Each structure stands twice: as structure tokens, then as C-alpha cells.
């Protein structure tokens, strides 16, 4: 990592020709913004291949889950669910809840005399998203623990039909995944479903029941929101806190800034440090990608497995400007390029929870920056293969 590289989470593969090229591992890798957006918006030429979508049998569900589905049903369901995460809804209906959960977390940490940031960030994210989804029948700590255990999975290789796992790996995956999944259904999903059948509310589970979702469908959707809305948000909240609290100048600015400026800073942090570092698509027809950044033009073929390297895409100097590896809230972007890059995806699988993630992260980090908390222990960085994102553990704060 160079002196000018301000990323805390970068990997060796985040370099190379940014337009699709052949990889000895079996991927067609894409690292330029223009080429990646072309792939993500080519809805008739691709299907979801991330989150092991291709290895989840169709017969398991009467309605394909929104995270791994494609086609008209996916589009319609995404449109209907998006209203629960619309910016105006988040700001009016959930602002008080966000502030309440952040305050509760800080009170607990103050009483204890220190704060393990990733643990508190998880509980804040779980409490808020669980309320929106309707998973409110178990303590937040218990729900968070079940979600964490589910992600303790063996390594995988998406280019192989068996995911590159041995029989022992598959047995370990079943032990690690099925137990927490059964507990998640029995203690979180099923009680919520029974309650919403009796008395529907304005939440995602009530909406899904109205759409005729069955048990397996409901479980899959709730697990989706548990991963996207809780686990990955926890990682970004921790990363944002690390950047802000570890830089005295940035901390002063963040503590004194208004919300609009703070969210520009967060957008720049998540551009540099996307919690999901790779997106995957399987080509279903041929797609040409134009020449870009001096690399030769490329054609993706039917059947190609495409790896969209979000960390590299988000530092494409052609669209984000110079010093692309540095954190610059005043960055001048090419028109039409979001300040967050492709950290929330694009096209039909774009994450609808962007505003919620930024809003709760801001509430959490702003209180830390404006308070007396200082870093007592730096975090440990590791990687999660299932969601292709970083994992930060051990960032400990103490009051100064």
C-alpha cells in the first residue's frame, strides 16, 4: 500500500487492467466503472451469481428471494419493498428510533467504561433493521448472535460446481449454518409471522404475508435483511468510526459539520472501503464492453462468470478523479457517478437500504466523534468469502 493510499482494507487483486480480462481462476474480471455499470444494467444478458445464488435450488422457494432472484417478480417485489427504506420514510418514521438506539448503546458503553465498536455497531444496526422488517420478538443481542454464527462458513470457490469444498467442508457448512438458521426461524421469524398474521403492521414481514409468501420464502427474505441490513452495515459503521476517530483533523471536521457534509464524508469513506468488495454476474448472452483506460475492448460470452471488483471500480480515476485512493469529501466526480461509487450496487440489484445505512452510521459516528472517546486498541482486519467483504474486530474505545 502506497503512502497516498488511505484505504484500510485493500487486497492484491485490486489492481490490473480495469476492463474485463481473463483470469486463471476462471473469472472475467471487471475493474472499471463504465464497464461494471454496463454489466449491472444489462438485465437481459446477466443473472445474479453472487451470494452463491447459482447453488441455491429453485425448488426451495415458491417465490425466489429478492437478493438472488431475477426477472419480473424480482423487479416488482423490489419496487414494493423499497418504500420501507425510502429516504423520506427513514427520516420521518425511524429517526427517533435511530437516535434512541445510538443513545442506548453509548449509555451502556459509558457505564462499562469502554466500547468494542463492532459489537455496539452490530446491536444498533440489528435493532433498527429488525424493527423495519418486523423481527422484534427476541432480544437484540440474541438475534445478533444467531446472525453472526450463520456466517462462520468454510472457504468457497464460485468457479466450481461444488464450490471447491470437500465433504468435510460441506459437513462443517451444514453444522455452522443449519443450526443458527433453525434457531433464527424458530425464535425470530416464526413468532413474528404468527403475530403479523393476527395483527399486520407497517413492516416488511406483514407486506410479504400479504403477497402470499410461505415459510421458506419468509425465512430467506428475513435472512437477506439480516445480512444486508445488519451484518454489512455493522462493518461499515466500524470502518467509518475507525477512519474518523483515527484522524484528528477529520474528527474535528466531522464533529462540527452539519448532516449534509457528514454524509459526504461517509460517502467518500464507503467509496474507498465498500463492505461488499465483489459483485458477481453470470452472462446469459454476449455483451461487448468498450475500450477504457487504455485497455483493449472486451466481449463477455454467454456462460462467463463475471467478477466486478467494487474496490477497484470505486477508485477508477476516469470517473472519480485524481488521488482516487485518498479520502477527499470535496471530490469532483464525473456527472452521473454516485459519491458512493458502486458500493451499493447498480441496476436491478442496487441496494434499497443505502439511505438507512448512511443515516444510522452518521448518528453513531457523529456521537463518537463529538464525545470524549479515543482509540485504545486498533482493530484486526480479516475477510469474509461469502459476502466478499472485510471484517473488522477489536476496535476498542475508552473515554479520554
- Is residue 11, in this structure, part of any structural domain at all? no
Intra-chain end-to-end CA distance of the chain, in Å: 31
pLDDT at residue 114 in the model: 96
Residue 24 confidence class, pLDDT cut points 50, 70, 90:
low
pLDDT at residue 340 in the model: 98
Q: For residue 399, what are the β-bridge partners?
A: 373
- Is residue 10, in this structure, part of any structural domain at all? no
In angstroms, the Cα distances linking 355 to 160, 170, 371, 394 are: 36, 37, 24, 27
Q: Which domain holds residue 272?
A: 21-399
Distance CA 90, CA 352 (A): 12
Cβ 27 vs Cβ 278: under 8 Å: no
pLDDT tens digit sequence for 190-223: 999 999 999 999 999 999 999 999 988 999 889 8
- Is residue 233, in this structure, part of any structural domain at all? yes
The pTM (predicted TM-score) of the whole model is 0.92
- Judged against a pLDDT cut of 80, whether residue 237 lies above it is answered with yes
pLDDT at residue 224 in the model: 84
- Is residue 56, in this structure, part of any structural domain at all? yes
- Is residue 67, in this structure, part of any structural domain at all? yes
pLDDT at residue 357 in the model: 96
- Is residue 391, in this structure, part of any structural domain at all? yes
pLDDT tens digit sequence for 173-184: 777 667 778 889
Average pLDDT for residues 288-299, to the nearest whole number? 72
- Is residue 51, in this structure, part of any structural domain at all? yes
Interior angle at CA 371, CA 366 and CA 372, nearest 5: 140
Cβ 47 vs Cβ 284: under 8 Å: yes
Among candidate residues 36, 47, 40, the one with its CA nearest the CA of residue 71: 47
Residue 81 confidence class, pLDDT cut points 50, 70, 90:
confident
Hey, what's the cell of 83?
A: 418504500
Residue 304 confidence class, pLDDT cut points 50, 70, 90:
very high
Cβ 273 vs Cβ 9: under 8 Å: yes
Q: State the burial class of residue 184 (Cβ atoms within 10 Å of its Cβ: 0-12, 13-18, 19+).
A: buried
Lowest mean pLDDT among 28-37, 178-187, 261-270, 371-380: 178-187
CATH number of the domain where residue 53 is located: 1.10.630.10
- Judged against a pLDDT cut of 70, whether residue 3 lies above it is answered with no
- Is residue 44, in this structure, part of any structural domain at all? yes
In angstroms, the Cα distances linking 84 to 1, 17, 203, 207, 376 are: 40, 39, 7, 10, 38
Total domain count, the chain: 1
- Judged against a pLDDT cut of 60, whether residue 98 lies above it is answered with yes
Average pLDDT for residues 186-192, to the nearest whole number? 95
Hey, what's the cell of 195?
A: 403475530
Among candidate residues 52, 142, 304, the one with its CA nearest the CA of residue 65: 52
Distance CA 296, CA 337 (A): 23
pLDDT tens digit sequence for 130-169: 999 999 998 999 998 888 877 777 777 777 777 777 888 7
Cβ 27 vs Cβ 306: under 8 Å: yes
Among candidate residues 35, 13, 34, the one with its CA nearest the CA of residue 24: 13
How high does pLDDT run on average in the chain? 89
Average pLDDT for residues 249-272, to the nearest whole number? 98
Interior angle at CA 231, CA 341 and CA 313, nearest 5: 20
**What are the two backbone dihedrals, phi and then psi, of residue 19, each rounded to the nearest 5 degrees?**
-95, 155
Amino acid at each position: 500500500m502506497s503512502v497516498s493510499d488511505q484505504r484500510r482494507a485493500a487486497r492484491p487483486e485490486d489492481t490490473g487492467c480495469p476492463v474485463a480480462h481473463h483470469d486463471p481462476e476462471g473469472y472475467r474480471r471487471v475493474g472499471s466503472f463504465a464497464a461494471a455499470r454496463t454489466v449491472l444494467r444489462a438485465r437481459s444478458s446477466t443473472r445474479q451469481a453472487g451470494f452463491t445464488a447459482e447453488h441455491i435450488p429453485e425448488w426451495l422457494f415458491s417465490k425466489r428471494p429478492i437478493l438472488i432472484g431475477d426477472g419480473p417478480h424480482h423487479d416488482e417485489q423490489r419496487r414494493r419493498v423499497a418504500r420501507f427504506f425510502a429516504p423520506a420514510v427513514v427520516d420521518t418514521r425511524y429517526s427517533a428510533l435511530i437516535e434512541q438506539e445510538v443513545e442506548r448503546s453509548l449509555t451502556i458503553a459509558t457505564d462499562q467504561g469502554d466500547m468494542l465498536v463492532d459489537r455496539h455497531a452490530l446491536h444498533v444496526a440489528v435493532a433498527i433493521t429488525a424493527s423495519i422488517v418486523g423481527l422484534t420478538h427476541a432480544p437484540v443481542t440474541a438475534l445478533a448472535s444467531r446472525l453472526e454464527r450463520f456466517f462462520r462458513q468454510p472457504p468457497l470457490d464460485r468457479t466450481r460446481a461444488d464450490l471447491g469444498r470437500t465433504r468435510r467442508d460441506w459437513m462443517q457448512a451444514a453444522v455452522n449454518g443449519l443450526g443458527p438458521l433453525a434457531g433464527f426461524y424458530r425464535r425470530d421469524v416464526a413468532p413474528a409471522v404468527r403475530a403479523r398474521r393476527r395483527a399486520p403492521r407497517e413492516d416488511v414481514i406483514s407486506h410479504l404475508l400479504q403477497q402470499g409468501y410461505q415459510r421458506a420464502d419468509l425465512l430467506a427474505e428475513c435472512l437477506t435483511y439480516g445480512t444486508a441490513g445488519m451484518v454489512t452495515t455493522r462493518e461499515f459503521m466500524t470502518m467509518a468510526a475507525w477512519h474518523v476517530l483515527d484522524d484528528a483533523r477529520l474528527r474535528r471536521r466531522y464533529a462540527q459539520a452539519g448532516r449534509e457534509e457528514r454524509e459526504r464524508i461517509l460517502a467518500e469513506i464507503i467509496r474507498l472501503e465498500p463492505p461488499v468488495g465483489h459483485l458477481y454476474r453470470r452472462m446469459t448472452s454476449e455483451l461487448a464492453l468498450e475500450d477504457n483506460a487504455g485497455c483493449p475492448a472486451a466481449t463477455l460470452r454467454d456462460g462467463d462468470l463475471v467478477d466486478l471488483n467494487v474496490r477497484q471500480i470505486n477508485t477508477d480515476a476516469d470517473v472519480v478523479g485524481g488521488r482516487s485512493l485518498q479520502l477527499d469529501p470535496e471530490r469532483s466526480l464525473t456527472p452521473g457517478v454516485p459519491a458512493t461509487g458502486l458500493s451499493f450496487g447498480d441496476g436491478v440489484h442496487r441496494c434499497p437500504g443505502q439511505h438507512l445505512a448512511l443515516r444510522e452510521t452518521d448518528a453513531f459516528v457523529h456521537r463518537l466523534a463529538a464525545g470524549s472517546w479515543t482509540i485504545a486498541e486498533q482493530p484486526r482486519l480479516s475477510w469474509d468469502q461469502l459476502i466478499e467483504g472485510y471484517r473488522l474486530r477489536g476496535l476498542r474505545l475508552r473515554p479520554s
